[in-house]
Structure 1
Amino acid sequence: MTSPTPPLPSPARNTSFRRTAVIAAAADAALILLFAAIGRDAHQRGEIITGVLATAWPFLAGAAAGWLALRAWRAPLALWPAGVGVWLGTVAVGMLLRAFTGQTVVLPFVIVALLALGVFLLGYRLLAAAALRFRARRRRA
């Protein structure tokens, strides 16, 4: 006797999940670019657009690696494992790529990147979770 197959997700629900994953990935990328822009501005470096992209690309690659390794699209707004994994992947892979390409990797920068990207990449997920809980409570009331 075979077990029944689970029901397929409805197209509306599947679209909602896909949209959430795209928005979360875009938010991660935008916040990484913001981190790079703030850092470049703090150190008064020229080449605004190309400079920000040159600073950001290792971290963007790290975020992509984190997304792929964890399959974060399954629960992109979850703090654990998606948020923490993407955050740590962003910093770890980003710093390795910076080192391999001759960019600066010093302990103070690693600490600043870890803290700032943690606030950015985990912070919006915490806010999203709070907003979703608030909306769920309002629906029940």
Structure 2
Amino acid sequence: MSPRTVLSAAVLDVLVVLVFVVIGRSSHAEGITVSGIAETLWPFLAGTVIGWVACLAWRAPISVPRTGVPVWLATLVLGMVLRVVSGQGTEVSFIIVAGIFLGVFLLGWRAIAVLLTRRRKPLNP
């Protein structure tokens, strides 16, 4: 995989987690401040990074089963565990919403990328 693809994948994952946090904070009337976003973001971002390392994501960054699923699960599970450890809330409804949002977007952009990559390849005669 090219370094550009790996970097793009990492940036997209970070953006998905950041958008999740910003939407969540704004929908609950929490302040959209740098410190507030950072406080909510760090557990999930740590989960994302750990997921990347655990599944060696740089080897197949757009693969849904090999990279997307482990990164999604690490982001969700480790994010929630780190929230508990740091004294932040983890209501069941929040876990469900987080799981759905992160799953749709961390897996979704990869599925789209795979489809686009397949379309660009010329058919072999």
Moved over 3 A (4+): none
- Match of 1:46, SS state, is coil
Match of 2:63 in 1: 78
Match of 2:88 in 1: 103
C-alpha distance in 2, partners of 1:47/1:72?
A: 31
Match of 2:28 in 1: 43
- Match of 2:2, SS state, is helix
Give the alignment of 1:61-140 within 5 angstroms.
Answer: 61-136=46-121, 139-140=122-123
Match of 2:13 in 1: 28
**Structure 2 regions of 5+ residues with no counterpart?**
none
Tell which has more relative contact order, 1 or 2 (C-alpha 8 A, sep 6+): 2
Tell me which amino acid in the other structure corresponds to 1:42. S
**How far has the Cα of 1:140 moved from its partner?**
2.6
C-alpha distance in 1, partners of 2:11/2:32?
A: 23
- Match of 1:140, SS state, is coil
Contact persistence 1:63–1:89 (CA under 8 A) = yes
RMSD: 1.2
C-alpha distance in 2, partners of 1:47/1:39?
A: 10
Q: How many residues align?
A: 124
TM-score (normalizing by structure 2)? 0.94
1:55 aligns with one of 33, 40, 55: 40
**How far has the Cα of 1:48 moved from its partner?**
2.5
**How far has the Cα of 1:123 moved from its partner?**
0.5
C-alpha distance in 2, partners of 1:67/1:58?
A: 14
- Match of 1:54, SS state, is helix
CA deviations over 1:119-138 (Å, ceiling 9, x no partner): 110000011011111111xx
Tell me which amino acid in the other structure corresponds to 2:41. A
CA deviations over 1:18-76 (Å, ceiling 9, x no partner): 21111101110011000000000100111432212211110000000000011011000
Contact persistence 2:25–2:32 (CA under 8 A) = no
TM-score (normalizing by structure 1)? 0.84
C-alpha distance in 1, partners of 2:32/2:60?
A: 37
